Amino acid sequence: MVAIGSDYEPRRHGRTTQRRSRILWLGVVILTLALRAGPARTESPTDSERPHPNLLFIIVDTLRKDHLGCYGYDRATSPTIDELARTGIRFEAAYSVAPWTLPASATLLSGLYPSSHTAIESDRILPLSVETLAERLEANGYHTGSFVSHIYMAKNYEMFQGVDKFRVRYGRSTRFVSTEKVVADALQYIGGISESQQPFFTLVHLFDPHYEYVRHQEFGFAPESAGRLSGEISIDDLEAKQESLTEEEIALARAIYDEEIAFTDAGIGRLLAGLDELGVGDDTVVVLAADHGEEFLDHGRLGHAHTLYDELLRVPLIFRLPGGEHGGQVISEPTSTIHVYPTILDLLGLEPSSAVQGQSWARRMRGDADQPSGSSDEAGGATVGEAENVSTEWASIPVAPLFGAAFAEVDSELMSAHLRALRRGDLKLILDLDTGRTMLFDLSTDPDEAHDLAGERPEVVVAMREELKAMVSLSRSREAEAGRASLTQEEYDLLKSLGYTN
């Protein structure tokens, strides 16, 4: 097991001199911090001294929302995330736009649907023509740091656009544990700039809940063995036994997955405590999201990327505003992670510089219960709406509705998955483009998506397929010119071990 930790030079950057002096200064600050005993708070610029608040964006890979306490789970996997939800704004029904890392994360960082940002395949980059969150913030005077733990979040895929400082931690073995290292990297970085007059953006991507599921026995959720499984179990082993796995064996896999979540939650706890110790916790917008969930034979599959059921698409999403303002809210309507990017910019007092396909939830977060959904017809019909409350020239460009609906897609030759999904109110439609099969579920009576109603309610299927068509057209409306990733054989092998290629 060999760790790969890499610092990369950014592709597009014009502030080399400034960066060098910053690095020198960073060294001094780290030394100073190291010499201090205990978690003494440092003096930091106050809210009024910085032009915008800081941003800490935590993306947890492969995190099922229904395995977290704040979403009703009965195992103590998530005390930190639960507390963040208690003091922040929690989305009960946020849908990811895709069921695997690359397209879902690229949307969080660009505000574009996968069909438009085009990072939809293991060999596709996030095109340089797409403006990332880091680029937007860097252009507005932010320090920008990115500390990640997946090859998809790294240089190969151009996910570092606009980032001043970045570090990637992933292992050649999928049993590599990275949360502690990524959290330490991020805290070291924030420690170096916390006294700056410039605000910071720090992206922290945590990978450990992703398979392989590694035991963290200090949490004690998983028994030593169950049925034919004991000790360390691998996804390959699980998949080999997929047809005959017993409930007890699946429960063991889930329990180890839960230990990974608890381990990651503890890392997030150290990260948030570190922010407070540095005196910047109250001046920082904290966002926690997952790229997608995970399947444990809920619908006959393991892992992720191949279906669009809720165990993959419904993700945890929590915002904490500076000082915990407007905290304690739950936003329960269905909505989409397409809105994360424009909402973050809005909360920081900024706007996208070019068209994105989402809108901002900020008005609702600040207590405007009447913020419209942006949908042209609440009862059905076209789901595509117009952006409201924006001043730029793209104000009339079609955007996804803020509330009440969500669209997701997966298009991968390598993973043999071509699917579309639309959640509208309590109903959900899933269309398999390969087989032509359409499924319809009523989540109010069937939250597990076990009973397909397509045969019983053909008129609803017809109406929702029309809506889906409108969303497909929207998802392609800003299609960027696609670019190919260049991977070494070793990197390709790593992706293969993660199940992302055939």
Note whether 295 binds Zn ion by CB under 5 A: no
Note whether 467 binds Zn ion by CB under 5 A: no
Decide whether 101 or 412 has the Cβ nearer to Zn ion: 101
CB of 305 to Zn ion, least distance (A): 8
Note whether 101 binds Zn ion by CB under 5 A: yes
Size of the site for Zn ion (CB under 5 A): 3
Structure tokens at 346: 């809005």
Candidate residues 291, 294, 310, 311; the one interacting with Zn ion per rule CB under 5 A: 291
In terms of phi and psi (left: phi > 0; alpha: psi -120 to 50; beta: otherwise), the region of 199 is beta
Note whether 61 binds Zn ion by CB under 5 A: yes
Catalogue the E-assigned strands of 82-224: 89-95, 143-148, 165-171, 200-206
As a dihedral over the C-alpha atoms of residue 393, residue 398, residue 399, residue 403, rounded to 10 degrees, the angle is: 120
Residue nearest to Zn ion (CB): 101
CB of 2 to Zn ion, least distance (A): 22
Give which of 349, 254, 353 is closest to 302, Cα–Cα: 254
Burial tier of 48 (Cβ tally within 10 Å: 0-12, 13-18, 19+):
exposed
Distance CA 472, CA 421 (A): 10
CB of 81 to Zn ion, least distance (A): 17
Which range binds Zn ion by CB under 5 A, 96-104, 155-163, 281-289, 452-460? 96-104
Note whether 294 binds Zn ion by CB under 5 A: no
CB of 150 to Zn ion, least distance (A): 7
CB of 4 to Zn ion, least distance (A): 18
Structure tokens at 480: 């960027």
Decide whether 102 or 399 has the Cβ nearer to Zn ion: 102
Applying the rule CB under 5 A, the residues between 24 and 53 that interact with Zn ion are none
CB of 152 to Zn ion, least distance (A): 7
CB of 61 to Zn ion, least distance (A): 4
Side chain identity, residue 166: F
Which range binds Zn ion by CB under 5 A, 56-64, 159-167, 271-279, 343-351? 56-64
Binding characters for Zn ion, 360-379, by CB under 5 A (x = yes): --------------------
C-alpha distances in angstroms, 168 versus 8, 135, 224, 334, 366? Answer: 9, 19, 32, 33, 35
* Residue 284 bridge partners (DSSP): 54
Strand 165-171 to strand 3-6: parallel, antiparallel, or no bridges (unpaired)? antiparallel
Residues that bind Zn ion (CB under 5 A): 61, 101, 291
